[in-house]
Structure 1
Amino acid sequence: GKIPHFDKFAVAEIVREAMRRAGRRNHLTLRLRELGGLVRTAGDIAKSEGAEIVRLEHVLKAKKIAKTVEEQLADKYIERRKDYRLFLSEGHEVGRVNGLAVIGESAGIVLPIIAEITPAMSKSEGKVIATGRLQEIAREAVMNVSAIIKKIIGKDISNYDVHIQFVGTYEGVEGDSASISVATAVISAIENIPVDQSTAMTGSLSVRGDVLPVGGVTQKIEAAIQAGLKKVIIPKGNSDDVLLDAEHEGKIEIIPVSRIEEVLEHALADSERKLKLIEKFKEYSYVLVS
């Protein structure tokens, strides 16, 4: 049958959802089939309640029902991981970071990353050994972070083998935004400073230590909330792209950053070693700026 008319609040919510799925403020998604599904479901809910007009509450109910295939996958994935304790949401661990990734275009997941550092067989012949589907991303992230580590910490990563494990990745996971997570895991492992496991992060890393914007920030933050994490670190350039649903508002502390040392400041456990490390980074950025 015919879909009833939508009132202005219902229309505004559909537009907001189109913006949320586009991943950027002032942009709308062109995945119109999915939005059409949402519009139809909201119309059906209104009709089943005998309403002549589709109101905001009908759209909100429809959003819970009309999840995309990717969102359904991500929900299953998060539940399964909670069952198997594949990610940690409390305590501190060396070399382990809760990264965030997206499946397809509309769903976020927590992607635990583990880094182990071992001395290389012979000097300056260290390798980057990555498991899981995201090997290229791991290599690129380690290359970027190794330039930073050499400059700032004075350690040459080529004297070590760096093992990176993406825990439980599978088809369709996009991970270009995992590079600050890989970098943090490697720095934690090489300096033996634990990482706060109640923190998640997403962001791309430049060779100079800048944290660059990434896609799907809203979906990634929602995944962190679902996983029971307390803080999420995002690139400052993505601050305006965060469009959380009302049910997720205020459930997690969002920390926008623009430099790798800010990531370390929020992610590493407090200690004397951490303070010294951050100090070195700050001196380096000061040199860059001046």
Structure 2
Amino acid sequence: MFKAVLDMAGFEFSGSDVILVAQYKHWVRLVVVTHGFRQETTMNATVLLSFLAGLLFLNIVKSDSPEADQGPVGACSGAPGIPGRPGHNGLPGRDGLRGERGSDGMKGSKGDRGKRGYKGENCYNHATNWKQCVWKRGDNTNTGLIQECIFNKQNSATALKVAYAATMRAYCPGSGACCGRWYITFNGTECSGPMTIEGVVLLQNTTDNPHRHRQIEGFCENIPSGSITVAVHVGNCAGPWGSSSRHSGWNSVSRIMIEEYPESQT
């Protein structure tokens, strides 16, 4: 019985080991003979059983531990395992920082010539169509035509800008005040698009005889294309001013200037 307990407690015995146990009441006499060597001892049976039970418990705990069945480390490493399957693609990363501006590339070759564009409509450059009529003479006409200037208008949608520059005088002998009106006509009719082109000289002193250089000008629309007779006239002013002694072009050059312009903005 004690040998079985000692075996379970982890004791190893060779074939020549002999265990003799004699029990008397509460005492146990233990005789162990190993290779001819005799050992004897007398112990309390309860103490011996408690000691053997403790050894048995430690041996059981030791045998249940993970290290109990692990053998020594081998001298050689095993062969490499088979590579695992590729994993799934990861999520897209965040946008990186904006890089610096690159250098200019090489100049490209000359491209093919483009197709010819469509013909434009009502296209006109006023700088290409203008005219002036110039003369130097004194004119004492009080009422009527002073000078004509023939102009060839190229487009019916354009406007004419006309300017008359000359010395103009109104004189009032024997009256308290007098007035003279100089104005432009187109083919014998004053402008109505939008209004007349005119200028007036008013004098309220009978002793003054002022000869002054003056200029009247303006745009006129709604004039057809073709030959246009542009003329300067002189006459009475509107209102109770009566007649006067008028003079145009005294001792200087007079001129009519005509330009053709694109149509006005709306």
The bucket for the TM-score relative to the shorter chain is: under 0.3
Report the structure, 1 or 2, having the larger strand content.
Answer: 2
The higher relative CO (CA closer than 8 Å, separation ≥ 6) is in 2
| TM-score (normalizing by structure 2) | 0.22
| TM-score (normalizing by structure 1) | 0.20
Bigger CA radius of gyration: 2
Report the structure, 1 or 2, having the larger helix content.
Answer: 1
